[in-house]
Amino acid sequence: VAPDGRMVLVGQAGQVLLSTDHGATFAPLTMQQPMSANAVAVIGGTLAVAGQRGVRVQPLPPEPRSTAP
């Protein structure tokens, strides 16, 4: 879970899913260098995905802006 509340899940088939609504829904996140993964960490605004082939690091996409008045 990122400090801003976003959640990230990874799968061994290379899926990376991002939730911006506290886990109610998840959307696929495109990795710059996809790989099989079994661990994920969010460090500040950076996503680190780890698997048998090492660690991939990339920035998290910006948090969506609220459209509430």
pTM above 0.85, yes or no: no
Cα 44 to Cα 35: distance, rounded to the nearest angstrom: 22
At 39 the pLDDT is: 94
pLDDT in tens, 54-69: 999 999 888 766 555 5
At 64 the pLDDT is: 67
Which residues lie below 8 Å from residue 34, measured CB to CB, with a gap of 6+?
14
pLDDT in tens, 14-46: 899 999 998 999 999 988 888 899 999 998 889
Relative to beta strand 46-51, strand 27-28 is: unpaired
